[in-house]
Amino acid sequence: MAAPGRYKGLLVMNTMLATGDAPLPAGFLAWREMCAKNPGFDIARLFARGNPQMKAAQCTAYSAPFPDPGHRAATRVFPALVPESVVDDGATVSRQARAFWGHDWTGQTLMAVGAKDPVLGLAVMQALRQQIRGCGEPWVLEDAGHFVQEHGQAIAEKAVNFFRPGPTAS
């Protein structure tokens, strides 16, 4: 939003704007609580839960950057950093972003949703869709979980075709 002229398209995948003036989704709160109660949680197990289409080896690969608890500091802290109140750090900029996407955004938006995401699934994304000016119906990937990017080839092809200039964009 600081340089709107630089961007013509927005690809949104299983996310939210934590503005502090609306309740956080129940799935997110459950995930936050799980992280707080299980500081040594297994990254591979977390990925398997949110991405049922992924094979065990793929989930395990996500654990590689986190060989010990010290390397998992950010994964333990991140959930608690998501703003829940209007005075929380980040809430103001999220509200500014909501205003930008809702009123000033003039580019194209492609929303891709993993239907099996237990944290930020279709209902959360439909609410976000209402906050983004000109955002069409979401593209729902029935076999995708939270990490929609795991469907890389399909996402890349859809995005390239969607954002392609001219009458062939869909």
Rounded CA-CA distance 164/158 in Å is 10
The whole-number pLDDT of residue 167 equals 61
Contact 5/46 with Cβ under 8 angstroms? no
Per-residue pLDDT in tens (0 to 9) along the chain, 170 residues: 999 999 999 999 999 999 999 999 999 999 899 888 988 888 898 888 878 888 899 889 988 998 888 888 888 889 999 999 999 999 999 999 999 999 999 999 999 999 999 889 899 999 999 999 999 999 999 989 888 988 889 999 999 999 987 665 55
Q: What pTM value is reported for the model?
A: 0.86
Which residues of the chain form beta strands (DSSP E)? 9-13, 108-114, 139-141
Can you list the domains of the chain with their CATH numbers?
4-163 (3.40.50.1820)
User: How many whole angstroms separate alpha carbon 154 and alpha carbon 57?
Assistant: 21
Strand pairing partners for 144?
none
Q: Which two tokens stand for residue 135?
A: 């955002």
